[in-house]
Structure 1
């Protein structure tokens, strides 16, 4: 089975010609022209089964829809190009993608995950690692000394990091973490959902696998649930992940993959606008009388700023959090008073979202009770600030 190998035709960009930018290639979804209709948008393939050849083979490369699909390959190819990866795999959700990596490990393997990370995966690890006989440690990944101390050479098989880390937006040095992991004989996997390949490409910094909840900014329109993995090399571990996707039926549906390819064509424009909005909001909220702290790696006084500046390009992402002066009650009251911002879970969409995370994550969350998580959309930043400013003032 081929991963991220989109159907080819003579109208695709000539590899022997100029080296086009990722922005241009993504805008045209790699430039493929449908060979039948000459349409500039690839067709949607929904077939679940495929005709055998007279010799009982499958010369088309497709046999059944559970392990593979032509429309899924189209989106995988664009993600692989963006991440500079030889292969990518799409899954039915970000959780399906992430858990496939851990499921590919052997019983008894030692794994390290961040203390600050997506709460759904942290909760899954806490419940499932013992059942799968995985030895699990949570570490403050922005502290390389703590990571170094947690590694067990010859025993640690996977180091999972998330940078920036949801919802405190802590930053992990990907290149340094990769060196430490590899020296111990472990792979490094990076959840780069909050960065996007527009701003960070972990594989070029030494990571072995990069994961995205494609539900978020890769799709960006709050109408697709998807996950994706991209790999630095198609080794046995990668083939194991592919087999898990096939065996568990975790592939993304073709219609969702079609929508994702549509969205990837505008990713650079959206990511740049959303990052610029987040940065402007962070600066304006930094000295707001009703904001106790702004958590955003783009601010010069943020603890992760120097590392982020070294590994992020063209901005610091679209996510920030604020700690509201007045505590939990004022934070919840602020979220209740916004008009333009939407009180909703998720992030990365073109609409700006606000959420009181401690209420969602429960008592074991590392999230302070006065924190509001903000996902900056593409609206006018003056409107976003005015709405939030009015809500903050009304809540106090």
Structure 2
């Protein structure tokens, strides 16, 4: 139970990812936190049950809102992101939607960056707008345009990704947050690509952080989950409203267990993802068949200075376009043998996909063009394989282009 956990020393990132919030002595000596496969919880008395429902007593009532393994996961996510509280849910989209349905109502305004994961973009521009919420889109890399849009829209909430999916644009979290707070808006940052290993938006002023925990946090391609981290009052409000009855997007006990396992190696994995991505990005930048490449770790990137300022590393994603556009990209992808053609990212396996026809198909062709998602764009999620093997596979595939 959360209330019985000892106060462990904070320690470094990896120490907290492995130990925070759990004492084996309280669970019969079990080194690994147990999985609580229960949908409901018994009350010692009717009075205790009443206190739990009223929120006058800490504990567990029903599995839709909280499970002991989930609670431990949420505590660890909060400490890793530097937040007061965390909420784990069934998917990254659930984390975003549960938050939006909790905080917004008809008549409110929202401003988003123009480059988001395709389903996030659809939720904001096609979902929220059906319920009387005004959604404005801006280029968050242009601070003058952002300031004008915030001033005109007077948003209640601002949302963006950095690095952005799929073209790896970076947004100045501190600067955008300052402008948003001047107009009274909350700032929600999707930190999926960077993870708290490389970037902690709350420390740069943001109010809320969301993750598709399916990706780097889980890290093994065997789960679907999402997370919200922020101040305790907001997070608990999302739990009681956005999760409990607005979405019902409950994370399973087994998924919580798998995520706790994934967090233990997160720092090590992200370091390997980043190192291999840097090597491959430098290789691709020099290759004569590459038209352009986007990776914040390259000195040639327009976002390199910002990345060095607000991130401690450059991440495991590389975006590029081949001479010959989409057809050349298809030939390249079809020739790969070690690298796997699949959506998602952050797995042990290196994955390659075509955003315009896959993850960002929710954008119209005009929206993709306007927002820098070219028809020939290829997104590479660099995995944990031996770097030389990845290099050899990519070079032989380029020969087919």
Q: Please classify the TM superposition score into its range, dividing by the shorter chain length.
A: over 0.9
Instruction: Work out whether residues 221 and 350 of structure 1, in 8 Å CA contact, stay in contact via their aligned partners in 2.
Output: yes
Pick closer, same or farther for the CA change 1:230–1:49 going to 2, 3 Å.
same
Equivalent of 1:378 in 371, 378, 384 = 384
Q: Could you tell me how far 1:27 is from its partner in structure 2?
A: 2.6
Q: State the secondary structure of the residue aligned to 2:156.
A: strand
Residues 308-338 of structure 1, C-alpha deviations (whole Å, 9 max, x = no match): 110001x111111111112110011100110
Question: 2:31 — aligned with what?
Answer: 40
Q: Could you tell me how far 1:152 is from its partner in structure 2?
A: 3.1
TM-score normalized by the length of structure 2: 0.92
> What is the rounded CA distance, in whole Å, between the counterparts of 1:158 and 1:238 in structure 2?
18
Unaligned runs of 5+ in 2: 50-56
Q: State the secondary structure of the residue aligned to 2:306.
A: helix
Q: State the secondary structure of the residue aligned to 2:165.
A: coil
Greater mean deviation of Cα atoms: 34-43 or 370-379: 34-43
> What is the rounded CA distance, in whole Å, between the counterparts of 1:24 and 1:227 in structure 2?
22
Describe how 1:8-47 pairs up with structure 2 within 5 A.
Answer: 8-10=4-6, 13=8, 15=9, 19-47=10-38
Question: 1:132 — aligned with what?
Answer: 131
Equivalent of 1:100 in 98, 106, 114 = 98
Greater mean deviation of Cα atoms: 27-36 or 280-289: 27-36
Question: 1:85 — aligned with what?
Answer: 83
Q: Could you tell me how far 1:54 is from its partner in structure 2?
A: 2.4
Pick closer, same or farther for the CA change 1:304–1:37 going to 2, 3 Å.
same
> What is the rounded CA distance, in whole Å, between the counterparts of 1:171 and 1:291 in structure 2?
21
Question: 1:344 — aligned with what?
Answer: 342
Q: State the secondary structure of the residue aligned to 1:221.
A: coil
Instruction: Work out whether residues 321 and 373 of structure 1, in 8 Å CA contact, stay in contact via their aligned partners in 2.
Output: yes
Q: Could you tell me how far 1:36 is from its partner in structure 2?
A: 3.6
Aligned length: 384
Q: State the secondary structure of the residue aligned to 1:262.
A: helix
Unaligned runs of 5+ in 1: none
Residue 222, structure 1, aligned to residue 221, structure 2: yes
Q: Could you tell me how far 1:155 is from its partner in structure 2?
A: 2.9
Q: State the secondary structure of the residue aligned to 1:152.
A: helix
Question: 2:53 — aligned with what?
Answer: none
Q: Could you tell me how far 1:385 is from its partner in structure 2?
A: 1.4
TM-score normalized by the length of structure 1: 0.93
Greater mean deviation of Cα atoms: 101-110 or 112-121: 101-110
Greater mean deviation of Cα atoms: 47-56 or 168-177: 47-56
Residues 53-87 of structure 1, C-alpha deviations (whole Å, 9 max, x = no match): 22442467111111111111111111011001110
Instruction: Work out whether residues 34 and 43 of structure 1, in 8 Å CA contact, stay in contact via their aligned partners in 2.
Output: no
Root-mean-square deviation (CA, aligned residues, Å) is: 1.7
Instruction: Work out whether residues 143 and 176 of structure 2, in 8 Å CA contact, stay in contact via their aligned partners in 1.
Output: yes
Instruction: Work out whether residues 5 and 22 of structure 2, in 8 Å CA contact, stay in contact via their aligned partners in 1.
Output: no
Q: Could you tell me how far 1:131 is from its partner in structure 2?
A: 1.2
Residue 243, structure 1, aligned to residue 234, structure 2: no
Q: Could you tell me how far 1:34 is from its partner in structure 2?
A: 4.9
Q: Which structure: greater helix fraction?
A: 2
Deviating above 4 A after TM superposition, structure 1's stretches of 4 or more consecutive aligned residues are none
> What is the rounded CA distance, in whole Å, between the counterparts of 2:66 and 2:276 in structure 1?
38
Q: Could you tell me how far 1:195 is from its partner in structure 2?
A: 0.3
Instruction: Work out whether residues 86 and 235 of structure 2, in 8 Å CA contact, stay in contact via their aligned partners in 1.
Output: no
Q: State the secondary structure of the residue aligned to 2:353.
A: strand
Equivalent of 1:320 in 305, 318, 323 = 318
